[in-house]
Amino acid sequence: MGDRSDRRRLVGIVAAALVAAALVACGSDATLTGVSAPVTPVTPQATDTATMTTTVSDPSTSTAPVASSWTRQRLDSEPGPDQPMLFESSGDQTIVIVPPERGHMVPWRSQSGGPFEQGEAIDTGMEYVFPSTAVRTGDGWLALMYDGTSYEVGTLRSPDGLRWTAGVASGFGPAAEPREIIATDGGFVAVGTVRTAKDPHAGGFRPMAWRSADGDTWSATSLPLPAASTDEATASGVLAVDGELLAVGRSDARGVMWSSFDGGTSWEITERAGIPATYELRHIVATGGVILASGLVPSGDQGDGSESEAVLVRSTDAGRTWSVAAQPPPTRGDHWFPLPVAAGNGQFLALNSFFPDVSSDPELCYADVERCQGDTDTTLYVSVDGDRWRRVDSSGIKLGRYSDLGTMMIDDAGRVVVLALAAGGVDAWSWPAGASLPTSPDPQVPKSDVPILGHGETLPPDRRYGYPLYIHCGMEWLYQINGTAWRRTDNGPDIETGAGNEPPADWPVSREAVFGFVTLVEDDVIEYSIGDGQVIATYAPSPTDAPGCD
């Protein structure tokens, strides 16, 4: 497996709130030269630069630093609410397609590492457009898209990345959601999902693969399901390597890998040595002889994926055997989605998002409540082998108040481009080819020596225990301490955040929880305090159970 398997692509989630999960993947296993037609370029937007010092290509070694910088370019196209972007690089072109409003999209193209130019607006004829990935063809670009209301599938074609034409794709059947498309020796293969319920909006999902010789007419193949699977399965990524196609997805609470040796005509579930029991496999990329897959493994007591953490697995023998990354990006708390990954030019990128979860990680809030009060922290990581990962020093990327790193890719020359939503558009931050990304150590996770009282545990007398008090429905109750519920007895202020009440500014509050302490001062009295002992409420045992909180 050589550079033909390089995936200069993003696999990520791009939405206005960075919460909606819309897969956006791009790239192919082979680079084909496109044919460009003359287009009058738009004057490039203003750029900013931030000079930094890089490390060497191998993050595990060190050598003389090389000066370089992050460069920002504003793309004046703002995605509509929950509208995913298409972000792709192949050969000498990098494209971004932004859907600013329903049915319409605005393309941008960077040629040979230069500034992005705005192309002609695309009228897709659809109500709510979800693009799949795009591939470079012999005469330009091909992408698939589907309508999130009618679930009709269409094509997007371009000779140059600036001018696009929407077309009809046949053979997908009703309620299809193609997620990723790749080029193969026989044409094209796509994987995704078909909604099986009579009302497509009611759910029911089955994984599907499609193949086509021309990109317009497709034939469908149902991907096999594990035994005892229900109608809740998806396929989300596909890769061509050494005459084999590998697809990844999930069935119920199990990650699945499928294999095809006949160009996508037939598929089978494949169990490969070294892949742990996963809850989901979502992304699969390759570069430099290494395949990398991103997924989730169950981490809770139930083992059903209700709690999960990110996992990266890699293969150096064309996917026959696998191993878990030895030094992956650090995880803390529950991960909702696998890490988005990209690959190309001999290196891998991953986006690691941390969202303070006060219910599963209260220790962090007692150690550093200000960090716990912050928004999602998304960090870029780099690796040359998929095994050892280093945090990228992105201090040169200046983000707006409500902006965060959203998507990334590596072009054929080695330039790294990271997109971030910004007020009025999208910021494209570029790190130049030939200069290694700067890295920095992971910050130490703050630790607390505060003992925390769990639900239903016994509170000994005269000892102070941490006890997060959820105040969405007020401060009236403490739940199940020493075998009973406790009800408030003092006349202090009742802060009910669900009713719009704001706690005092000096209270240690995050995500509608006060990070204070309970102390059993008498057999029938619990004091709730904050800081160095300021008592803000007292409680007594209640003969009735505490009501629920909606």
Where in the sequence is the domain holding 512, given as residue range(s)? 464-541
Same domain, 234 and 123: yes
Hey, how many other C-beta atoms are within 10 angstroms of the C-beta on 45? 18
Same domain, 389 and 526: no
Tokens of 549: 């909180």
The pLDDT score that the predictor gives to residue 92 is: 96
Question: Is residue 497 assigned to a domain?
Answer: yes
Distance between CA atoms of 120 and 105, rounded to whole angstroms?
Answer: 9
Same domain, 136 and 260: yes
Same domain, 366 and 504: no
**Identity at 155, one-letter amino acid code:** T
At residue 363, the 3 state secondary structure works out as helix
Low-confidence ranges of the chain (pLDDT < 70): 1-67, 300-306, 332-335, 356, 374-376, 402
Hey, how many other C-beta atoms are within 10 angstroms of the C-beta on 291? 24
Same domain, 140 and 281: yes
The pLDDT score that the predictor gives to residue 18 is: 33
Question: Is residue 304 assigned to a domain?
Answer: yes
pLDDT in tens, 403-416: 778 889 999 999 99
How distant is the alpha carbon of residue 61 from its chain centre?
29
Question: Is residue 549 assigned to a domain?
Answer: no
CATH number, domain containing residue 10: 2.130.10.10
Same domain, 308 and 398: yes
Same domain, 360 and 504: no
Same domain, 406 and 262: yes
Is beta strand 347-354 parallel, antiparallel or unpaired with respect to 341-344? antiparallel
The pLDDT score that the predictor gives to residue 378 is: 83
The terminus-to-terminus CA distance of the chain in angstroms comes to 54
Question: Is residue 366 assigned to a domain?
Answer: yes
- 406, 440, 474 — which closes off a domain? 440
Closest CA to 471 of 491, 497, 489: 497
Question: Is residue 449 assigned to a domain?
Answer: no
Same domain, 469 and 357: no
Q: Phi then psi for 400, rounded to 5 degrees? A: -75, 175
The pLDDT score that the predictor gives to residue 81 is: 80
Question: Is residue 188 assigned to a domain?
Answer: yes
Same domain, 479 and 390: no
Question: Is residue 453 assigned to a domain?
Answer: no
Q: Structural domain tally of the chain? A: 2
State pTM to two decimals: 0.80
Tokens of 36: 């460009």
Beta-sheet strand order (sheet of 187-195): 176-184, 187-195, 205-212, 219-222
Same domain, 404 and 474: no
Distance between CA atoms of 545 and 539, rounded to whole angstroms?
Answer: 14
The pLDDT score that the predictor gives to residue 53 is: 38
Same domain, 379 and 291: yes
- 375, 406, 440 — which closes off a domain? 440
Question: Is residue 205 assigned to a domain?
Answer: yes
